[in-house]
Amino acid sequence: MGILDRINRVIEIEATSITELSKQIGPDYELAVNMINDCSGKVVVTGVGKSGHAGKKIAATLASTGTPAFFVHSTEGIHGDLGMIQKEDIVIMISNSGETSEVISLLPSLIKIGSRNIAITSKKNSTLADACDIALTYQYESEADHLGLAPTTSSTIALVIGDVLAASLSELKNFSKDDFHVYHPGGSLGEQLSRKSQ
């Protein structure tokens, strides 16, 4: 298999997984959007590894589209950063397996804090899915690397789910271009919006 064939194979695997995700969306996704829309606090996203990197992007996208959000690394969470989370907040917990120890270890404290928790995981019957108020689950055939091990397809799906939440919430909040410009005054997007507002 040549390099271009390998490149196309990766794209095909990930693209197919997103198409399949659209068929898996159910009532829990709508419940999650409504829960976050009604939230009087903030959205806190947590995870480790590649799920953590995806979580940072999800939190940033939520924040820039009208939903106050930030990321807390799960390991830092159990070493004091849980103090950033309050009862009014919603915590989005990302773990492909639903059994990531660093993520699971947050649950006892989050229950005491009283936050509502949303899981993003591929395992419907996992510890994380069972413990959270809502579980946004997904299935996929394989990771996209040749070993089928590196978080590739799974992390892409997590990012798409984050975009689903952010875009849906932004529309529900009637978030406008002017609002977006307030949060994003810099870069080419900010310049483009500045010209349009003149």
Q: What is the pLDDT of residue 185?
A: 82
Q: If the chain, 198 residues long, is cut into consecutive pieces of 10 residues, what is the mean pLDDT of each piece?
A: 95 97 96 98 98 98 96 97 98 98 98 98 97 98 96 98 97 87 74 63
Sheet with 134-137: strands ordered across? 69-73, 43-47, 90-94, 116-121, 134-137
Query: What's residue 113's pLDDT?
Result: 98
Q: Phi-psi category of 174—alpha, beta or left, where left has phi over 0 and alpha has psi -120 to 50?
A: left
pTM, rounded to two decimals: 0.93
Please report the pLDDT score of residue 179 as a whole number. 79
Domains along the chain? 3-197 (3.40.50.10490)
**Which helix (H) or strand (E) element contains residue 29?**
helix 27-37
Tokens 């969306």, located at residue: 25
> How confident is the model at residue 178, as a pLDDT?
82
Three-class DSSP category at 117: strand
Q: Which DSSP letter does residue 150 get? A: S
Q: Which residues lie below 8 Å from residue 83, measured CB to CB, with a gap of 6+?
A: none
Q: Is 169 helix (H, G, I), strand (E, B) or coil?
A: helix
Which 3-state string (H, E, C) describes 76-115?
A: HHCCCHHHHCCCCCEEEEECCCCCCHHHHCCHHHHHHHCC
pLDDT value, residue 110 = 98
